[in-house]
């Protein structure tokens, strides 16, 4: 179960999870202004800019809350931890079976940039910072 907490000008999603050792941990994820979709801000018409941003933060927090609860209930929740790219890729591919994806999550109306991670048929992993111009092997 996750909840949304508002303090001053910030909106956070708060949830509990069990770490790798079985200890109960609390995680706070604060929604940052630069994470907001422009359409969410524009949808909050008729309000001052500060209120529009707060409404958009609430909407983004609601989406994240739903995602956390869904993945926890489904059993695919990834425990927050410091990890290497190699370990992250291994976990991600085992859960989702993806072969190719962008480093940054796609946000409507924003350019995805040039960074990519590619998984080869043999399980090798490659990073490109210049949209497939050059590659660095990471696994």
Give residue 8's pLDDT: 80
When computed from its CA atoms, the radius of gyration of the chain, rounded to whole angstroms, is 18
pLDDT in tens, 5-58: 988 878 899 999 988 788 898 888 888 766 665 555 555 545 555 566 777 788
Partner residues linked to 137 by β-bridges: 126
- Ramachandran region, residue 86 (left: φ > 0; alpha: ψ -120 to 50; beta: rest): alpha
Per-residue confidence (pLDDT) for residue 45, from 0 to 100: 46
* Residue 2: per-residue pLDDT: 92
Closest CA to 117 of 135, 97, 90: 135
Give pLDDT tens digits for 67-114.
999 999 998 887 776 667 777 777 777 766 665 555 555 566 777 778
Q: How far apart are CA 119 and CA 131, in angstroms?
A: 15
- Is residue 113 within 8 Å of 127, Cβ to Cβ? no
pLDDT score at 123: 79
């Amino acid at each position: 179960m996750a909840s949304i907490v508002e303090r001053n000008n910030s909106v956070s999603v708060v949830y509990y999870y069990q770490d790798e050792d079985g200890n109960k941990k609390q995680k706070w994820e604060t929604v940052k202004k630069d994470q907001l979709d422009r359409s969410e801000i524009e949808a909050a018409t008729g309000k001052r800019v500060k209120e529009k941003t707060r409404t958009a933060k609430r909407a983004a927090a609601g989406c994240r809350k739903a995602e956390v609860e869904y993945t926890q209930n489904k059993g695919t929740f990834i425990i927050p931890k410091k990890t290497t790219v190699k370990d992250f890729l291994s976990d991600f591919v085992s859960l989702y079976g993806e072969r190719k994806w962008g480093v940054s999550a796609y946000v409507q109306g924003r350019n995805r940039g040039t960074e990519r991670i590619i998984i080869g048929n043999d399980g090798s992993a490659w990073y490109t910072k210049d949209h497939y111009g050059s590659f660095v092997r990471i696994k």
